[in-house]
A and B are shown apart, each in its own frame.
Chain A
């Protein structure tokens, strides 16, 4: 299924931010904005909600900590007890470095893997580049066109009146 997009090209960060606000206020849904570098405050004006990745990190860390403690206590305390340095079998202070490392490792891995899954990043991913200049010096705002619903002329005017230097159309093959 093909999708059609209208692309508003901007060459100024501040113009872009006000444009996003105005266009969203006018009731137009913005599909996405592409920029060569991270723009401060763009998440807020686009209405993007805060990532819930930290929650994953917390539970990943909790899992890592529990796993590390269980592993060491079970191995050194029950499965194969050994006396090391005259300490008790279950010597918690000596378990802490490993526990710490596994907490950090599981927390980090859980975040990376979740991020890949959520954003569908995979080696075979085919990326549609809307406009190559968005990797150089232009900001590209993409608005999805719904046949019969979107008034193309009004959209064109809206983009231009909000500082777009160009308005293009692009068809994306899914």
Chain B
């Protein structure tokens, strides 16, 4: 089989750097705007009576930290799905995906950066994002003592949280590198031994992933709303990551194909990726609804507060995103990708995958903002700027990872089968 090398031109790289630069400029503009008090009307009324009203307008640092956290969780999740996708394909003895497996492999190269950013943002901005990090909540003599949060201190304490974070990233990066090394050695030496070893590594990773994807979702997203809890939450975040990751893989395959790479990928592979995106956007909705229905039906105040915050609460600030989330992540992909032809046409899939990637960014926005910035949340320069910076960095590491190895895993035992894939 012929090797295919991706060449990232200087021009393309410059585009990514430009993306980061524009992001930084927007970010600085947004920060200046906020710090000067121009942007937030809340500031004007807030400052004087803030203490009395119990409402303090969010500072720009808080907004910045929450945005960094939001984007980092989103992009780390997509990167992690890269390894998860590869592992699932190995364990399932899947043949069709051999031609596209280098893309999810390379997607995971963002993980180390994600880990560092996650650690730094938590160390510097932990108090701004997580209410439970405040010491006084656990002090019985303090008037602000919170028995519910204090009861969770066995799990939710800074030291254990940091240990967990390091362990998650350590394990994820370890397995990613391990699988990647097998794959690259296979390119050089051939034989089936690397394949069989990859299956064993993948099986181990899936066990690790099964636990850590849930617990990391509790840590990084669920604990923002410290009082609230949901047994569906690990699945919910996983579903959101998984469908965004699949959309990212599909979009990359299409873009590479349109630029003349991945010559052996044909409509059948695109069709299968499209089915994945279609199926798991429904899966996400199923999880969303399973979570919503029970809380809506039981209507217990401590549980339904989560949805009230996102609907009528917070002055109805998030209501439009609540419905927008369902439309862009379920109705739109469901109706557009329903026919076979749509899943085989690159243009349709391109539109849907971009919509899903934007939609799930909003999904994470909706998970994090009501518990942190509340009515001060918005979508302005800071949000767009931070996202652009992260996107730029993600694409830089991703394309660098892609360019490092042949796009076709030349000695993969199932490559022949993948080339002749037919549905």
Interface of A toward B, CB cutoff 8 Å: 40-41, 50, 54, 58, 85-87, 93-94, 96-97
- Interface contact B297-A85, CB-CB below 8 Å: yes
Interface size class, chain B: 10 to 19
- Interface contact A58-B293, CB-CB below 8 Å: no
- Interface contact A93-B299, CB-CB below 8 Å: no
The residue of chain B having its C-beta at the shortest distance from the C-beta of A58 within the complex is B338
Please tell me which one of the listed residues A40, A50, A54, A93 contacts residue B293 in the complex, with CB atoms under 8 A apart. A93
Minimum CB–CB distance for B301 against chain A, Å: 13
Please tell me which one of the listed residues B297, B339, B422 contacts residue A41 in the complex, with CB atoms under 8 A apart. B422
Query: How far is A85 from B304 in the complex, measured between Cα atoms in Å?
Result: 15
The residue of chain B having its C-beta at the shortest distance from the C-beta of A96 within the complex is B289
Query: How far is A96 from B290 in the complex, measured between Cα atoms in Å?
Result: 11
Given contacts A40-B422, A41-B422, contact A93 B296 (CB under 8 A): yes
Please tell me which one of the listed residues A58, A86, A93 contacts residue B292 in the complex, with CB atoms under 8 A apart. A93
Cross-chain pair count, CB within 8 angstroms: 20
The residue of chain A having its C-beta at the shortest distance from the C-beta of B298 within the complex is A85
Main secondary structure of the interface of B (DSSP, over half): helix
Q: Which B residues lie within 8 Å of A94 (CB)?
A: 293, 297
Which chain B residues numbered 326 to 346 have a C-beta less than 8 Å away from chain A? Answer: 338-340
- Interface contact B297-A54, CB-CB below 8 Å: no
Please encode chain B, from 255 to 293, with 1 for each CB lying within 8 Å of some chain A CB and 0 for all others. Answer: 000000000000000000000000000000000010011
- Interface contact A86-B422, CB-CB below 8 Å: no
The residue of chain A having its C-beta at the shortest distance from the C-beta of B421 within the complex is A40
Interface contacts beyond A41-B422, A93-B297, A94-B293: sample of 12 additional A-B pairs, CB < 8 Å, sorted by A? A40-B422, A50-B340, A54-B339, A54-B340, A85-B299, A86-B299, A87-B297, A93-B289, A93-B292, A96-B289, A96-B293, A97-B293
Q: Which B residues lie within 8 Å of A87 (CB)?
A: 297
Which chain B residues numbered 100 to 124 have a C-beta less than 8 Å away from chain A? Answer: none
Which chain B residues numbered 291 to 321 have a C-beta less than 8 Å away from chain A? Answer: 292-293, 296-297, 299
Q: Which B residues lie within 8 Å of A93 (CB)?
A: 289, 292-293, 296-297
Minimum CB–CB distance for B391 against chain A, Å: 35
Query: How far is A41 from B297 in the complex, measured between Cα atoms in Å?
Result: 50
The residue of chain A having its C-beta at the shortest distance from the C-beta of B341 within the complex is A50
Q: Which A residues lie within 8 Å of B340 (CB)?
A: 50, 54
Q: Which A residues lie within 8 Å of B297 (CB)?
A: 85, 87, 93-94
Minimum CB–CB distance for A110 against chain B, Å: 16
Q: Which A residues lie within 8 Å of B338 (CB)?
A: 58
Query: How far is A85 from B422 in the complex, measured between Cα atoms in Å?
Result: 51
Q: Which B residues lie within 8 Å of A40 (CB)?
A: 422
Q: Which A residues lie within 8 Å of B292 (CB)?
A: 93
Minimum CB–CB distance for A53 against chain B, Å: 11
The residue of chain A having its C-beta at the shortest distance from the C-beta of B293 within the complex is A93
Please encode chain B, from 381 to 423, with 1 for each CB lying within 8 Å of some chain A CB and 0 for all others. Answer: 0000000000000000000000000000000000000000010
Q: Which 5 residue pairs spanning A and B have beta carbons closest together? A: A40-B422, A93-B296, A93-B293, A85-B297, A41-B422
Q: Which B residues lie within 8 Å of A96 (CB)?
A: 289, 293
Q: Which B residues lie within 8 Å of A58 (CB)?
A: 338
20 sampled A-B residue pairs with Cβ under 8 A:
A40-B422, A41-B422, A50-B340, A54-B339, A54-B340, A58-B338, A85-B297, A85-B299, A86-B299, A87-B297, A93-B289, A93-B292, A93-B293, A93-B296, A93-B297, A94-B293, A94-B297, A96-B289, A96-B293, A97-B293
